[in-house]
Amino acid sequence: MVALCSLKSLENFSHHATTSARTDFGQYSLMKLVSSWPNLRTLYLAGDTNGSEDCSTIPPATCALESVTFERCMSNFEKLAPMFAGSAKSLKSFEAWTMGFKEIDAVLRNVLPSIESLHIGGCNHPSRDFILSELSNAPRLQSIDLNGDTDTGGTTRKAFAEALTREDSFPALRWLSYPGERGTYKTGRGRNVRVHEYENVGAKELEEAAKKKGVRAELAWRDLEYKVKGAQRRAGFAAMGRRGYW
C-alpha cells in the first residue's frame, strides 16, 4: 500500500480481477489510494468496494477524475463520495454495477457540473428528489442509462417524466434508458394459464415527455444488469446469486 501511495504522478489505474466471480478490493484501500494520487484521471476497478473501516481520517481526494468505472460498487455511497471531491469540473463518464448502502445520490452530487454520461446497473437508482431537484439541472449530461433492478411502483420513471415536463430541465440530454420489465409472464395452471405483458407504470408518460423535449427514451435491456461493458464475469456473479451464495 505504501509503495502504491507513493506513485504521485499516476494518471490511470485499473484493477482487473481474475476469473473469479468476486474479488475484494475494499473501500479503505480505494479511498486511501485515490486520495494519494493527485494526478489520477482514469479509474477502472473490478474488486468489491465494500468495507467497514473508518475512512474519516483519509483526506478528500484532490485529483480531477475524468472517467470512473466500478464493476461492483458495493459501498456506503456517502462514505465513497469524498473520492469525487476534486472532480466537480472534470468527470465526464461514470459507470457502475451497484449494490450499495443508501442512495447513490451522494456520489453523483459532487460531479453534476461536468458529468456527460451516466450508466448504472444493479440495485441503486438516483432517488426521486435527487432526479427532480439536482440531476435534471446537470448542464452537460447527455446520456443516462439505468438498466438495473425493476423500478418498483415506477418511482424512477415517474420522477423522470415529471422532470422532463419542465422547460429548463436536462438542457443537454439526448438519450435516456430507463429501468423496467420486458416481455410477458404467465399466471395460473393448466388450462387456466394466462399470458400477460409487463406494465411499467409511468413509462408511457416518460416517453411522451421525452419526445416533446427531443430526447430519445426507451426501456433498458436488462442483459447488462450484472455487468458493466467489457466485464463478462457479471454472468458468473449472477449465477452464484441464483444458487444461494449471496
Q: Regarding predicted confidence, which is higher, 95 or 221?
A: 95
118-127 average pLDDT score: 86
Say if residue 246's pLDDT is above 90: no
Q: What is the pLDDT of residue 244?
A: 53
Summarize the confidence of residues 113-117 as an average pLDDT: 97
Q: Are 142 and 174 within 8 A, CB to CB?
A: yes
Q: What pLDDT, on a 0 to 100 scale, did the predictor assign at position 202?
A: 92
Structure-block grid coordinates of residue 77: 455511497
Please give the domain boundaries of the chain with CATH numbers for all domains. 11-242 (3.80.10.10)
- Evaluate if residue 158 carries a pLDDT over 60: yes
- This prediction's pTM: 0.84
pLDDT band for position 124 (50/70/90)?
confident
Task: Say if residue 64's pLDDT is above 50.
Answer: yes
Which carries the bigger pLDDT value, residue 140 or residue 122? Answer: 140
pLDDT band at 226 (very low <50, low <70, confident <90, very high): very low
Q: Are 196 and 187 in contact (CB under 8 A)?
A: yes
Mean confidence (pLDDT) of the chain = 84
Lowest mean pLDDT among 57-66, 177-186, 207-216: 177-186
